[in-house]
Every structure is written in C-alpha cells, then in structure tokens.
Structure 1
Amino acid sequence: MVLHHGWPAIAPAGYMGVDVFFVVSGYLITALLLREVDRTGRISLREFYVRRARRILPAAMAVLLAVSAATLAFAPYRDWAAYFREIVASTFYVENWRLAVDSQLPASADLESTPVQHFWSLSVEEQFYLAWPLLILLALWILRRRGHSLQRILWVVLGAVTSASFAWSLVLIGSDHNLAYFSTVARAWEFGVGGLLALLASSAPRFFAASGQGVRAAASWAGLALIVVPIATFQDTEAFPGVWVLLPVVGTLAIIWAGLPATRWSTAGVVGLRPVQWMGDVSYSLYLWHWPIFMFVPMITGVPSPPLLMVALVGVSLVVAALSKQFIEDHFRRRRGPVGSHPRVLAGALAFTLAGVVALGSVAPGIAADELACRSQNHRD
C-alpha cells in the first residue's frame, strides 16, 4: 500500500493489500474466538472488545489528533470542512460509509484525497469486529436450543453470511463500483473466508497437515504470485473488487494454509528475515502514519513531492511507525505505564481524545468559512 501511495506506477493496484489484510484478520480473529469457545464454552464480549480497543484505538486516536493539528496548521481553509468531516467519521469508524455516501454526490464523486481517507479499511475492520463475535454467539445459542454439533452450526451460520456477502458484492459491482468497494456488507465475505479457513483448521486439522512440505511450499509461492502479480499489473479500477478480488483473496488463503513449510525453497526463508519480521511488527502504525505524512509534506513545501523526497518520506514514515509501535501501541497492548495499565484511565484518555477531535470537527469548519468569507469581502473592497 505504501508503494501504491508513493509510486502508483510501480504498484497500480496496491489497494489489493487491503484484501490481504481483511482475509488475514478474519482468520486470526475467528481462530481466537474459537479457541476461547473451546476453552470456556463461551465468548466474553467485554474481554474481546477491550483487547481490540487496546490494540487499535490508541495509535489511531494519536494519528487523528495529529492530523487535526496539521490540518489547522498547514491545510488551506477551503479544505478544512472536508478534512474534518472525514476525521470525525474516522473517529467513529464509519469513514467507509462517509466515502460511500460522498461517492454518490456529483460534486464529490471523484473522492479527492484527504489525510484520513485510508481509515476506510480500518472502519470496515472495526465493524467486522463488532458483528462477527455476535454470529458465533448466535451459533452457541442455537447449539443450546437445538443441540446440534457446534461445528456444523458454525459452518451454516458463518458460511451463509459469507456467501450472501459475496453474492451482494457481485451484484453491487455491476451497478456501482464505489459502493462495492466501500460497503461493509459487500466486503464482509473477505473476512468470512478467512474465518471459514480458521473453522476448517479447528474442525479438520488433518486438512492442514495432509499435504507434503513440497506441496505446501509450492502453494505458498503460488499464493504470493496471486497477490504480487495483480498488484503490479491490474489497471481497471472500475472492475474492482468484483471477481478480480478473488486473486489476492485466494492467494492469501493459500499462504495461510501452507504455513511455513520446512523446505529450502519455501517462503519461510523470506518470512523469517529480520527486516520482514520488523516490517510486520510496525505494519499497523506504518499504515496509519504514512498517508498523512505523504499528504501534508506538499502542503508545507508548496510543491508535489519529487521521487527522491518520496523515498525520504518513506524513511520518515518507517521511523514514525517504529516510534508509534514502541511508545503508543506497546504501552497500551502490553499494559505499560500509568495510562496503559489501567482500563478506566485508558477509557478516559480515549474519550477525552474523541471529544477533542469531535469538538475540532464541529468548530474548525465554521472558522474556516468565516475566514474565507472575510477574505472574499476584503478582495471585493
């Protein structure tokens, strides 16, 4: 995604990285929930949502605060209303629906970039986190009422939702590719197939162990090709997601299924490299910070960033991401420090941040409009 934002010609379909992220997220979250069900026979929504909040919200709120400040400092007055409208939408994790609505307005159909536009995918993920555990709880409720096998009920419930979402995405792409791209309903199946793979691993572990190491290594390389080749070659944005999204989705499923085969020529050698491991560790913070950095630097310099400066900005983004990972993500996720270790203090800090962002989003556009009106009046005089 960083390559796509910095050098679109190199990775014209870098946005497919989002699809990889959706599938992996669906697999990991479902596996986590299934392990809890196996261990306790239930799901604690409170514990699940607190863990997700610790993992996601602190760094995201820090970025939204920084973007709000940078907007006030560097963005033209004419952009304040659009920027803060999307900042507030991102704060409540409905940025994808904000963009979906804007894409239907003739004046906004082209969806000009804002520093938080990339929060649309995080919004979809958060909405998935809200709904997916409830589906597993529904399966547990059916189990207690009907007494069938939990695995069978989960296949029916999760499979039905996943299939319906995929069918809707195919219908929607024929009428409006923007809605198909941003709609949570049309994107849910990508999380769903990852979740179904986790369910398969839980209910039929032999399926994961049945094939030899060579077959799994070949599958992992084939999966990587299904991701990388489309990212580097796909051009028809109006046909995406559609059936084309199956390429990165199937590729991701193949890589997850293959795991880390113990052969000399498997992808395990690449995945195990220290730089690759480090990039994985900072990937969330890099995702959050890189786009605002790319957006605000041209506002500060007054000119589009040339190639050499873009390389430097990638370096800056990596440094900022590493600092964010160490001093924001880790503090809250590992419950370090006076704020990160106390849930009530964490909740209060997040609420204070949210209130500040919403207040700025309410007041700043009016200030900008008054300033623009004043300048226009002075120009006429």
Structure 2
Amino acid sequence: MAAPSAPVPSRRSSSKVLRDSDLAGVGPPVSAGARPLRRARARTGAARPARGSGGSGAGLAWRRFFRHIVASALYFENWQLAIDSQIPRRADLESTPVQHFWSLSVEEQFYLVWPLLLIAAFAVAARAGVGGRRTAFALLALVSAASFAHSVLLTGVDANLAYFGTFARTWEFGVGGLLALVPLPRHPRSDPVLAAAGFVGIALIAVPIASFRSPELFPGLVVLLPVAGTALVIAGGMPTARWAPTRLAALGPVQWLGDVSYSLYLWHWPVFMFVPYVTGMPSPPWAMVLLVLLSLAVAGLSKRCIEDPFRAGRGAVAARPRLALGGVATAVAIVVGAGVAAPAIAAERITACEAPGR
C-alpha cells in the first residue's frame, strides 16, 4: 500500500499561490495550481483471489475492480475504500489494481480546497489591511491543528475512516504549506544546523518503517514521525557542509530513484498484486525481490516512453511516435492483464481445489 502522502505537494502548491500573489502586487491571487488492522489483509503478501465458482467469481472481481477504477479516475478512491470498510461483505478490503490511488485522491482533493482557502485568506487580508502571508499562515495552522486532532480521535474510534478520510489527512499536507510560509535561513553559518536537520529527518522517516508493528494505531500520533521527518529534510535543503546528506542525495542511483518515483508509485501495486492473483497464494520473498526489480524496470520505461515525452510537449511525442505508442500499449496491456486474466485464473484454481475428491 502506498505510503501516506508527504507534505511536499502542498508546499509547492502554497509556494505557487504565494508567488502569483507577489507578482500581482496586492489582493488575492487569481491562479493556483493509512494502515488499519482490517486493511493489513490487503497487503501484497496477503492478496487473495476472488472467491466463488468459476466465471461468477471472476465477474464479481471485475465489477469490484471497475468500481474502484472509476473511483480512482474521478479522485474519490479514498472514500470508496472508506465506504467499503463500513460494509460487512466488503470489510476485508481485498486488493484491486488501483487501490493505491487512494493517496492520490486525497492529494487532489486537498488541491481543490486549499487554493480556494488561500484566495479567501488573501481577500480578507486585503480588506482588513493586514499581511496576507500572516493570515494564510494562521488559517492553515488552524485547519492543520483541527485536522490533526480529528485524525488522532478518529483513529481510536475507526482506524479505517481515519486512514482514508480526507480531513484526517489534511494536516499532513498542511505541514508542507506551513513550511512554504516560513522563511528559512540560507547562509553558510546555518549549514551545520541544516545538515543536522536533514539527518534527523531521515532518521524520523526510517524509524517507523523499520519498527512500526501496530497498524490499528495508524494514522494517529504515529504519523507525526514521518511527517516531521519529511519537513526537516525539506527544510534542510542541500547544505554544503562536508558531512551533510547532500552527497548522499547527489548519488546517481538516488537521483534516478527520485526521478522515477512517481512512475514507480503508479506501477508498483499492480505489479505486486499480479502474482498472488495468478497463483492464489502469497508471493515468497524471492518473488517479491523480482517484483521490486520488475516495478523499477516498468517505472523507468514508463517515465522514458510516456511521462517524459508528454511533459516535453507534442513535438517530443511526434518525434518518437512508435516509442510512445509502444509504451502506452505496454502499460495498458499490463493493467488489463492484471485486471482481467488474473481473477479468472485464480477463480479456476479455487474451483479446482474445492472440487470433490481434492
């Protein structure tokens, strides 16, 4: 399952809004750009084929897949999963190829509301004759504090709703927005402090990854560690101190992984869940290693053949139409294959295993 969204996106969104406001002079800007206990079963190692008899099982799986594909395309996958968690017959939250898009849905919902709040804050500030940046900071701090309190309280009541709920996750993006509103010192004397902040941030991100073993407590207070760690890494920037983490971040493999990270996010879950659906059993460790390597390969090809040409403009796509078309065709084939062939194969295996005499 995809990791909780980091505060990086909201920092970029907030920075753009503030930049537009500064360019306009005064007034509001005019342009702006979770693991609960029951969901532990939906992890890659526990992905299960659809139960039922033959084609009917595959048909039910496909209908469930289609429902989540639509939810992901319209950016409400998080709420679809939250609703499923409240329905007893769907409470197991079995995996779908697009289940990981829940975090992207939360992010886009934040993008829809946060710029409007910033515009309103700048409008109020302009009328009141107070600083727009201070008003925006106060507004975002208030919203983030309310969201954090809501997340902690809701986690104790229903970890599923807290994990997928938009408002329970808003504060994580809010931290990034607050970071964009705070001027950070950038001079040689601050390099040791910034370097230390970077290392502390990396540690705060790594510790919960290695030690977290209580999914029923997530998100809640536990999310403070990775969110604070991400904020520290961003605040630390790229200091020039000799012992700073800058050299680590500048390594070729690290740069490449960061470059393909979004493509890897898009592709890793369909790749991971394909084998369990085909075989009807959890992937062994050696298979997971191969799937990780396959995910990295697919992510690299996807970025080179699909993402980069489209980002560069029509000219780049037109210059390499066969390569772009081949990349798109490969991507579609993998998704369709995982969504259609795998459930049918798994259903046949279950039917054979449950047949009399077996």
Q: If the length of structure 2 is used for normalisation, what is the TM-score?
A: 0.77
Aligned-residue sequence identity (percent) comes to 53
Question: 2:235, 2:280 → 1: CA distance?
Answer: 48
**What's the CA shift for 1:265?**
1.8
User: Which residue is equivalent to 2:314?
Assistant: 336
Question: 1:294, 1:231 → 2: CA distance?
Answer: 19
SS of residue paired to 1:320: helix
**What's the CA shift for 1:336?**
2.9
Question: 1:159, 1:304 → 2: CA distance?
Answer: 43
**What's the CA shift for 1:339?**
7.6
**What's the CA shift for 1:310?**
2.1
Q: If the length of structure 1 is used for normalisation, what is the TM-score?
A: 0.73
Q: Name the CA shift for 1:249/1:99 in 2 (closer, same or farther; >3 Å).
A: same
Tell me whether 239-248 or 331-340 shows the greater mean CA deviation: 331-340
Question: 1:217, 1:270 → 2: CA distance?
Answer: 12
User: Which residue is equivalent to 2:134?
Assistant: 152
In structure 2, the gaps of 5 or more residues are: 34-54, 319-334
**What's the CA shift for 1:288?**
0.6
Tell me the alpha carbon deviations over residues 143-162 of structure 1, each in whole angstroms, 9 at most, x when there is no partner. Answer: 33222111121122222211
**What's the CA shift for 1:210?**
8.9
Tell me whether 230-239 or 170-179 shows the greater mean CA deviation: 170-179
**What's the CA shift for 1:166?**
1.3
SS of residue paired to 1:107: helix
Question: 1:326, 1:141 → 2: CA distance?
Answer: 42
SS of residue paired to 1:76: helix
**What's the CA shift for 1:36?**
2.0
User: Which residue is equivalent to 2:226?
Assistant: 248
> Match for 1:121: what amino acid?
S
Maintained 8 Å contact 2:309/2:316: no
Tell me the alpha carbon deviations over residues 243-282 of structure 1, each in whole angstroms, 9 at most, x when there is no partner. Answer: 1111111111111111122122211111000111111111
Q: How many residues align?
A: 303
1:144-293 aligned at under 5 Å gives the runs 144-201=126-183, 205-206=184-185, 209=187, 212-293=190-271
1:83-162 aligned at under 5 Å gives the runs 83-162=65-144
Question: 1:78, 1:151 → 2: CA distance?
Answer: 52
Question: 1:270, 1:338 → 2: CA distance?
Answer: 32
> Match for 1:310: what amino acid?
M
**What's the CA shift for 1:124?**
0.3
> Match for 1:251: what amino acid?
G
Q: Name the CA shift for 1:339/1:164 in 2 (closer, same or farther; >3 Å).
A: farther
> Are positions 1:81 and 2:63 aligned together?
yes
Maintained 8 Å contact 1:22/1:125: no
In structure 1, the gaps of 5 or more residues are: 6-14, 50-72, 341-356
Question: 1:285, 1:309 → 2: CA distance?
Answer: 21
Q: Name the CA shift for 1:260/1:298 in 2 (closer, same or farther; >3 Å).
A: same
Question: 2:189, 2:21 → 1: CA distance?
Answer: 28
User: Which residue is equivalent to 2:11?
Assistant: 27
> Are positions 1:326 and 2:304 aligned together?
yes
Maintained 8 Å contact 2:11/2:180: yes
